[in-house]
Structure 1
Amino acid sequence: MPERKDSDSRKLLLRLREILAAPGGGQDRLDRITHHIADSMGTQVCSIYLFRDPETLELCATEGLKPESVHKTRLRLGEGLVGRVARSGRYVNTADAPSEPGFRYMPETGEEVYSSFLGVPIQRVGEKLGVLVVQSRDARLFTDDELYGLDVVAMVLAEMAELGAFLGSQSDGMPLQHRFPIVFRGGVAQEGVAEGRVWLHEPRVVIANPVGEDPLKEKARLTEGVAMLRTTVDSMLAATSMAAGDSAEVMETYRMFAHSRSWLRRMEEAIDRGLSAEAAVEKEQSQARARLESAADPYLRDRLHDLDDLSNRLLRILTGQGKDTGAEMPENPILVARNIGPADLLDYGRKLRGVVLEEGSVGSHATVVARALAIPLVIHAERITSEALNGDQIFVDGDTGMVHLRPEETIAKAYRDKMAMQAEAQQRYAGLRDLPASAKCGTTIQLYMNAGLMADLPSLENSGAEGVGLFRTELQFLARTRVPRRGELAALYTKVLENAQGKPVMFRTLDIGSDKVLPYMKPQDEPNPAMGWRAIRVGLDKRGVLRMQLQALIRASVGRPLYVMFPFITEMNEFEEAHRLLMEQIAREQRLGHGMPTDVRVGAMLETPSLAFAPKKFFEMCDFISVGGNDLKQFFFAADRENERVRRRYDTLNTSFISLLEQILQRCNDARVPVSFCGEDAGRPIEAVTFAALGFRRLSMRPASIGPVKHLIRRVDLSELRRVIDDARDIGETNLRGPVTDWLARQ
């Protein structure tokens, strides 16, 4: 019996390949496919439903239902058995369809009440394209062989769709893929607006031969490809053998996947059913995604990325389609990707005008790099990698999280007008570059910039920044596949200080953990990583890495002042331990006869409310304090900054938060320790002048924000604004944004 089914499956797949190769439109192909599937499986009905939009399925072809119902019958996602298959991504096989939960009878199709129903998703590596259904009058469950055969056919249909086999024309009702304007609503990760052309980071592998004629030949190709993959992975493992233990552990897990016999066996079974080697790999990849995405264990879900990467590597070996496809990067490229690591993003550098990701987060290292490159970034733009083609016109609005793909001319004109106004404003700000940020009352605010890359340093002079208030040292760790050596870091830090040309640079020690996981470090299974093992907690637990970084900073600062800032200090003893560690490294360097910095200043990032209540001795120990506004606000309001549902609900100018900042300022002033505000809010002009009116005399922000902030500070009297703030609080205002903006409008 199985042999006959295997033979039937192979015959059906060969028929599908003939249909794919034959001339004709998308509708004609689908009509012939449904006829052949129903005939091959001995069913009265075969129907193909495709997504018209992310929430709507449309009957696009049928054998057995009324032809006039095609392109008329539509189902919402989750509606009926077909909608259930589409939502879950899993098959429904029943001998009594009307008794199934959610069953819906559609009289417009003219269908009888068919007892047997088998529906399987049409999907390609996690992307849901539609549902393939067969029905029959007799009440029976379809066999495992029939289910597997239909699943294989659905996978081939997905490949045919990727090849454009079902694209519509102006005369039929089929969707016109990759033709019309599409708007994606994502999340804001880096502000700014850009126009450009799509450049796909990893173009999808196109499988031109989903059906295999000779199983022995296809298995030999698969075996050869897997052998090449294993050799590559073993070489990668050898390259990281001298790195940290976590790195070796991660790579060893990766190697185990590549050498899995069950993984190879499942792909060989798919070849026996009639698939080519490439299609078998992708089918296993899709099924693995379905299994792991529903796993309760977060560690197993994380392994999905490893399996995806292995499968993609194997597909590129089998098809010969490397990342270098021969396509030329367009002018003004906008990078579009599912996700991207910091090393890849740094490779593109300043050639990019913007970035759009299907995944990502507001605090990820990709976001940090995008901010350093001063290019707009939109995250969570679902399905854009499926819709976008290389060279498509695209507008990225990092201010609102909107992405317009192939926009209408009215939309394009509106965005070009917006960009022209922003460019004109930047020209005005450029004239303020060499002027101080002095308010009308005579108070001068020092404006510093945040940085993390050598590429940032030219902005130090061009923006008019007085120094670097935060240099993120973790980017040099995130962009490598191994722990950087002390000499490499010392050389880099030396170049940073040389490019600063005598202006102060506040080096923040390694701030990893939470969403910033090193590629060679085992991810920690933590329910709330933002409040877990991160930043100084990692440094004090893994002292070898922190010592090495401190030694590199000392050696880079010979003959210059050294400013070191420890991140995520939550209580005084953490700062004492970190401070002691730094002093020990200075003493060690002196014993070795090495040169010394001319001065050493040690500060702390105040990012948790607990530190605002630290003993007075803590503030007296610090040479300077930097308020990390992004994390402080997150913990103060108990609002995860990665959670779009809550992070925008709470305002920086909330009276309670302003009172906390005022208390921090008072404690720093009592201890005579300089304090600055560092974070996204420091670069927003309204928030910046409010902080200045409270008493902050140093603000640190991204370079592009310095001009707008300086422009507003120079136009206001901070003492008057302070009276506005105090009056608003006296009358019980819970938020100062209204009173502050009203006063600014009158100015």
Structure 2
Amino acid sequence: MDFLKGVGVSPGIAIGRVFLKEDIAIEIKNETIQNPEEEIKRFKDAIEKSKQQLQELYEYALKKVGKHEAQVFTAHTMILEDEELIEKVNEKIRTEFKNVEWALKEVTDEFIKLFEEMDNEYLKERALDIRDVTLRMLRNLSGIEDHSLVLLKEPAVVVAKDLTPSDTAQMDKDKVIGFITEEGGKTSHSAIIARSLEIPAVAGLSGITSQVKHGDMVAFDGSEGKVYIHPDEKTIKHFKEKKERYEQRIQLFEQLKNSEAITKDNIRLEVACNIGSPADVDRVIEKNADGIGLFRSEFLYMNRNDFPSEEEQFDAYKTVAQKMKEKPVVIRTFDIGGDKELSYLDFPKEMNPFLGCRAIRFCLERIDLFKTQLRAILRASAFGNIKMMFPMISIFDELVQAKQILEEVKESLRNEGIAFNEKMEVGMMMETPSAALLADLFAKHVDFFSIGTNDLIQYTLAVDRLNPHVSHLYSPYNPSVLRSIKNIIDAAHKENVWVGMCGEAASDPKLVPVLIGMGLDEFSMNPASVLEVKWMIRQHSREEMKAVAEQVLKFATADEIERFLESNDNIHLF
């Protein structure tokens, strides 16, 4: 049977009737007004009402999906408080005598166009935030009730052109059994929240809203991105069996919650989680992960008006360390730049931001900010098993300078009589080809490596992972990437340095056996993948997988490697 192909953004099987989410059309008239101050007051009142609604949404999302996902509403509030936007709307009202609805639309259209024309996929998707805020304001100005998915009465597959953060934050998992959108991708807010709620989802399916109507039956696999409209009995039977197998698989994994990740030849490996805020820790504990392999500290710097203070950071790191008790918490010093910009920091405009001033390069330029964070991390290390690592080290001098600054901060704390863990482990991210090639030298100066495959693949293959024109070249199965990983692990082990992996490849079921064979010590991932990776580790022996890894490294192409892994009888895929 024919199917439509989108981008699978959240795994799981969905079979159900369509709820076609159609946005209520708001007619915006271009009117000449007599009293500009009255319109400006209407604008101010709409801002205040919108801020109140966003605060309610923030609190709702905070309880339901966590702080990191809820922070999008903080970002929306910041748009409402943007002085440039407010002033431009007020000016248009005063000088052109335009009604507030028209003035608001004209101004925000300019901002939306600006973001949509950017090359960076992450920044392009910020246009959706502005559109969402504008729609909220226009509804409030027109007295139209919020068209919300909270009103959904029966379980359904939601189909929409796109889902705003406001939509997804209000999703009831019992009612929304899946969703399909025309726009968006794996980095969109809707996709992130879908994965947090474990709702199957497909994005980027152009024209889907015109091909289905309310009540149509659809079936899809959120991993594959294939969507079947009006599936026949045979297809429905196939998906029901697939769903049953998927649910059995989840139940099987749940039984491993209190089991250790031990290979068949009795080697214990660590399965940890990646987090972005203290609110994410509850899910780590729920899955009984072995620790936190990556605390993305830059999220403490985002969706706010200024840099977080030392005390704010200290409280966040301390909270995480105490909740995790004796389990390790690896904090990555802030990785700002590339696709992660700060609204309150005037970044230089760079032609290639991923190759510019980001991560450790920015830290070494703004040593004042770097030292503030290092003080907070060191102070928090007295309250748990905290480890720290530097991101995107590409030359040896960067590591030396970063460690020297760390020593200066330690000495300062000693002089102040402030406690910290003198033996706190310090490592580095391995995510550049230059670092991979010099792994033997770097290993003599750190306590551990953490392989960031997302960037390692991007830089090794010279492929912008957010660029749809070349994204087909971006593959964790590329032999150059896998050889780099093997080189990093071997060089580290010669110096008795342990190696973790915190990129997406760490939870790839086909790669996990290969990484076991290569000698990887720690796998770190989204909490939703922890139990599956535990299961994978328990199905294989390191000795057997060594032979598989050796064979993999002989192939010349990513396709050959992937086919080999899919057909190899020694690899147990669920």
Fold in common (TM above 0.5) = yes
Q: Does 1:318 align with 2:141?
A: yes
Q: Identify which of 91, 96, 117 aligns with 1:260.
A: 91
* Corresponding position of 2:442: 618
Q: Does 1:712 align with 2:536?
A: yes
User: What do the CA deviations read for 1:630-675 (whole angstroms, capped 9, x no partner)?
Assistant: 1111211122221344334454333332222221122212232111
* Corresponding position of 2:271: 447
Q: Secondary structure at the match of 2:443?
A: helix
* Corresponding position of 1:418: 242
Tell me which amino acid in the other structure corresponds to 1:229: F
Alignment of 1:128-527 (within 5 A): 185-194=5-14, 204=23, 206-207=25-26, 219-220=33-34, 224-229=38-43, 251-261=82-92, 265=96, 267=98, 278=101, 280=102, 284=106, 308=131, 311-312=134-135, 314-321=137-144, 323=146, 328=151, 338=162, 359-363=183-187, 371-382=195-206, 397-402=221-226, 414-522=238-346, 525-527=349-351
Asked if structure 2 preserves the Cα contact closer than 8 Å seen for 1:628 and 1:677, the reply is: yes
User: What do the CA deviations read for 1:685-740 (whole angstroms, capped 9, x no partner)?
Assistant: 22011011112122222233233333333333332332244356568787433334
Q: Does 1:652 align with 2:494?
A: no
* Corresponding position of 1:638: 462
Alignment of 1:676-715 (within 5 A): 676-715=500-539
Q: Identify which of 551, 561, 570 aligns with 1:736.
A: 561
Q: Does 1:536 align with 2:360?
A: yes
Give the fraction of aligned pairs with identical amino acids, expressed as a percent: 28
Q: Secondary structure at the match of 2:412?
A: helix
Asked if structure 1 preserves the Cα contact closer than 8 Å seen for 2:16 and 2:157, the reply is: yes
Distance in 1 separating the partners of 2:127 and 2:553 = 51
* Corresponding position of 2:61: none
Distance in 1 separating the partners of 2:85 and 2:499 = 46
Distance in 2 separating the partners of 1:706 and 1:596 = 31
Following TM superposition, by how much is the alpha carbon of 1:252 offset from its aligned partner in structure 2, in angstroms? 3.7
Evaluate the alpha carbon distance shift between residue 383 and residue 508 of structure 1 in structure 2; reply closer, same or farther with a 3 A threshold: farther
Distance in 1 separating the partners of 2:211 and 2:150 = 18
Q: Secondary structure at the match of 2:43?
A: helix
Following TM superposition, by how much is the alpha carbon of 1:401 offset from its aligned partner in structure 2, in angstroms? 2.9
Task: State TM-score, norm by structure 2.
Answer: 0.76
Following TM superposition, by how much is the alpha carbon of 1:607 offset from its aligned partner in structure 2, in angstroms? 0.7
Following TM superposition, by how much is the alpha carbon of 1:457 offset from its aligned partner in structure 2, in angstroms? 2.8
* Corresponding position of 2:491: 667
Q: Secondary structure at the match of 2:391?
A: strand
Asked if structure 2 preserves the Cα contact closer than 8 Å seen for 1:257 and 1:307, the reply is: no
Alignment of 1:36-55 (within 5 A): none
* Corresponding position of 2:57: none
* Corresponding position of 1:556: 380
Evaluate the alpha carbon distance shift between residue 656 and residue 746 of structure 1 in structure 2; reply closer, same or farther with a 3 A threshold: closer
Evaluate the alpha carbon distance shift between residue 363 and residue 702 of structure 1 in structure 2; reply closer, same or farther with a 3 A threshold: same
* Corresponding position of 1:244: none
Work out which of the two has the higher radius of gyration on C-alpha atoms and give 1 or 2. Answer: 1
Tell me which amino acid in the other structure corresponds to 1:743: N
Following TM superposition, by how much is the alpha carbon of 1:570 offset from its aligned partner in structure 2, in angstroms? 1.6
CA RMSD of aligned residues (A): 4.7
User: Structure 1: 5+ residue runs without aligned partners?
Assistant: 1-181, 238-246, 269-276
Evaluate the alpha carbon distance shift between residue 329 and residue 437 of structure 1 in structure 2; reply closer, same or farther with a 3 A threshold: same
Distance in 1 separating the partners of 2:318 and 2:112 = 49
Following TM superposition, by how much is the alpha carbon of 1:624 offset from its aligned partner in structure 2, in angstroms? 0.8
* Corresponding position of 2:60: none
Q: Secondary structure at the match of 1:434?
A: coil
Asked if structure 2 preserves the Cα contact closer than 8 Å seen for 1:679 and 1:700, the reply is: yes
Evaluate the alpha carbon distance shift between residue 637 and residue 597 of structure 1 in structure 2; reply closer, same or farther with a 3 A threshold: same
Asked if structure 1 preserves the Cα contact closer than 8 Å seen for 2:112 and 2:127, the reply is: no
User: Structure 2: 5+ residue runs without aligned partners?
Assistant: 52-77
Distance in 1 separating the partners of 2:330 and 2:278 = 14
Evaluate the alpha carbon distance shift between residue 516 and residue 398 of structure 1 in structure 2; reply closer, same or farther with a 3 A threshold: farther
Distance in 2 separating the partners of 1:505 and 1:302 = 31
Distance in 2 separating the partners of 1:295 and 1:453 = 31
Q: Identify which of 382, 403, 407 aligns with 1:579.
A: 403
Following TM superposition, by how much is the alpha carbon of 1:421 offset from its aligned partner in structure 2, in angstroms? 1.6
Distance in 2 separating the partners of 1:575 and 1:704 = 33
Distance in 1 separating the partners of 2:127 and 2:286 = 44
Q: Secondary structure at the match of 2:523?
A: strand
* Corresponding position of 1:594: 418
Distance in 1 separating the partners of 2:114 and 2:538 = 56
Following TM superposition, by how much is the alpha carbon of 1:332 offset from its aligned partner in structure 2, in angstroms? 6.3
* Corresponding position of 1:48: none
Following TM superposition, by how much is the alpha carbon of 1:367 offset from its aligned partner in structure 2, in angstroms? 5.5
Following TM superposition, by how much is the alpha carbon of 1:506 offset from its aligned partner in structure 2, in angstroms? 0.8
Evaluate the alpha carbon distance shift between residue 318 and residue 423 of structure 1 in structure 2; reply closer, same or farther with a 3 A threshold: same
Following TM superposition, by how much is the alpha carbon of 1:390 offset from its aligned partner in structure 2, in angstroms? 10
Distance in 1 separating the partners of 2:148 and 2:270 = 49
Following TM superposition, by how much is the alpha carbon of 1:412 offset from its aligned partner in structure 2, in angstroms? 6.1
Tell me which amino acid in the other structure corresponds to 2:361: R
Evaluate the alpha carbon distance shift between residue 211 and residue 257 of structure 1 in structure 2; reply closer, same or farther with a 3 A threshold: closer
Following TM superposition, by how much is the alpha carbon of 1:568 offset from its aligned partner in structure 2, in angstroms? 1.6
Distance in 1 separating the partners of 2:443 and 2:533 = 28
Following TM superposition, by how much is the alpha carbon of 1:307 offset from its aligned partner in structure 2, in angstroms? 7.2
Q: Secondary structure at the match of 2:451?
A: strand
User: What do the CA deviations read for 1:346-386 (whole angstroms, capped 9, x no partner)?
Assistant: 78798876666655454567755655555545443446789
Evaluate the alpha carbon distance shift between residue 224 and residue 407 of structure 1 in structure 2; reply closer, same or farther with a 3 A threshold: farther
Distance in 2 separating the partners of 1:504 and 1:368 = 25
How many residues are matched?
541
- The structure with more strand, counted as a fraction of residues: 1
Following TM superposition, by how much is the alpha carbon of 1:531 offset from its aligned partner in structure 2, in angstroms? 2.7
Deviates more, 1:184-193 or 1:673-682: 184-193
Tell me which amino acid in the other structure corresponds to 1:319: S
Evaluate the alpha carbon distance shift between residue 312 and residue 650 of structure 1 in structure 2; reply closer, same or farther with a 3 A threshold: closer
